[in-house]
């Protein structure tokens, strides 16, 4: 789950290199997760993938990049005499089955969870070990961060080949046990503009995006990491909300504009500010990724009260929404099944 939108577009679409660094927090627990199962057999005729029970096109370039790269690493490990899967296994085709237990393509980072889980599981099946975040990045940029638990930064890097554009854990999942995340599902529908094509248009047309990556993100990134280290919720909250707002300002500055927030999202934003103003401190923060669904950060002691307030203003039966309640932040988004 992004604390801070990873948005920023990509300086290189081929390698999936971002134009600014970013930070996210990885959720664990059963409430929001991707479960990926990979089977490998001599009897399979071709590689295939099913997403949420429906067969998808295996030839999507990003999926192919991940498969190709894991197989290359497996072969290399084999030829370096480091073990791993046997040669016969390497030539076998795979069947991949992946299920998200939360809305797919609705701004809740299914691509990050999905590709992180896929790369990790494929690597296990093929006996590949070591740093895999660069492979996950080939599937979906934000997936590189989701390979680690806790607070994770994706350092943009400087190199043309992207070798220094890597994910790095800022603090482990045990760092801030009182932190809670509430996901308010405003709409489970697929977003009208996918993240990849949205970002490409923004990079081409938004001048605010350039200002953001040159002048805003580098300082904000430092402040944010510092707030996380110090567990300073008020500072963390303000930076998170400002960054979410700037991301959506860039969506508006994109031509033609992209609207990810809807009226309910904007009501939630107002509600959070009123709530914080009432207490004269930032007790709750929102962030919205590329979709209308709100991710709320707060501390354990405020969860019950804030949820009462949300339910008062957005009774589930009238807005059709659902609430995913009180997720502790901990080790990993991923569940692996071999």
Residue 111 binds Co ion (CB under 5 A): yes
Residue 108 binds ligand ADP (CB under 6 A): yes
Site string for ligand ADP, 34-63 (x = CB under 6 A): x----------------x------------
Which residue do the tokens 């806790």 mark?
150
Q: What is the DSSP letter of 141?
A: G
- What values do phi and psi take at 92, rounded to 5? -70, 150
Least distance to ligand ADP from the beta carbon of 59, Å? 12
β-pair partners for 334 = 34
Say if strands 284-288 and 294-299 run parallel, antiparallel, or are unpaired: antiparallel
Residue 111 binds ligand ADP (CB under 6 A): yes
β-pair partners for 209 = none
Query: Measured from the CB atom, is 199 or 228 closer to ligand ADP?
Result: 199
Site string for Co ion, 137-176 (x = CB under 5 A): ----------------------------------------
For the record, the structure tokens of 314 come out as: 């957005």
Residues 114-133 close enough to bind ligand ADP by CB under 6 A: 114-115, 118
Burial (CB < 10 A; 0-12, 13-18, 19+), residue 214, is: exposed
Least distance to ligand ADP from the beta carbon of 283, Å? 27
Cα four-point dihedral sign 271, 272, 273, 276: positive
Q: Of 239, 66, 225, 235, which Cα lies nearest the Cα of 150?
A: 225
Least distance to ligand ADP from the beta carbon of 103, Å? 7
Rounded Cα distance between 269 and 308, Å, is: 16
Size of the site for ligand ADP (CB under 6 A): 21
Binds 26: which of Co ion, ligand ADP, none (CB < 5-8 Å by kind): none
Least distance to Co ion from the beta carbon of 111, Å? 3
Least distance to ligand ADP from the beta carbon of 278, Å? 32
Binding site for Co ion (CB under 5 A): 111, 195
């Amino acid at each position: 789950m992004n604390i801070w939108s990873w948005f920023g577009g990509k300086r290189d679409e081929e390698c999936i290199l971002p134009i600014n660094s970013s930070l996210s927090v990885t959720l664990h627990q059963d409430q929001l997760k991707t479960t990926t199962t990979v089977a490998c057999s001599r009897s399979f005729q071709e590689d295939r993938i099913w997403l949420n029970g429906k067969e998808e096109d295996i030839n999507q370039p990003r999926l192919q990049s991940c498969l190709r790269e894991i197989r290359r690493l497996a072969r290399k490990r084999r030829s370096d005499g480091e073990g791993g899967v046997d040669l016969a296994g390497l030539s076998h085709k795979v069947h991949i089955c992946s299920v998200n237990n939360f809305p797919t393509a609705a701004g809740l980072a299914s691509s990050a969870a999905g590709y992180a889980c896929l790369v990790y599981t494929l690597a296990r099946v093929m006996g590949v070990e070591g740093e895999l975040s660069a492979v996950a990045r080939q599937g979906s940029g934000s997936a590189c961060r989701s390979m680690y638990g806790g607070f994770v930064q994706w350092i943009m890097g400087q190199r043309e080949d992207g070798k220094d554009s890597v994910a790095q854990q800022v603090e482990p999942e045990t760092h801030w046990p009182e932190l809670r995340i509430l996901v308010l599902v405003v709409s489970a529908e697929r977003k009208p503009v996918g993240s990849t094509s949205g970002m490409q248009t923004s990079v081409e047309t938004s001048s605010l995006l350039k200002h953001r990556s040159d002048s805003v993100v580098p300082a904000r990134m430092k402040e944010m990491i510092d707030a996380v280290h110090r567990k300073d919720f008020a500072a963390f909250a303000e930076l998170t909300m400002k960054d979410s707002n700037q991301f959506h300002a860039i969506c508006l500055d994109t031509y033609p504009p992209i609207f990810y927030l809807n009226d309910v999202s904007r009501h939630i934003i107002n509600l959070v500010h009123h709530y914080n103003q009432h207490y004269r401190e930032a007790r709750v923060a929102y962030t919205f990724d590329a979709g209308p669904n709100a991710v709320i950060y707060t501390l354990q002691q405020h969860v019950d009260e804030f949820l009462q307030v949300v339910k008062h203003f957005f009774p589930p039966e009238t807005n059709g929404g659902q609430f995913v309640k009180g997720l502790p932040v901990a080790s990993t988004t991923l569940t692996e099944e071999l």
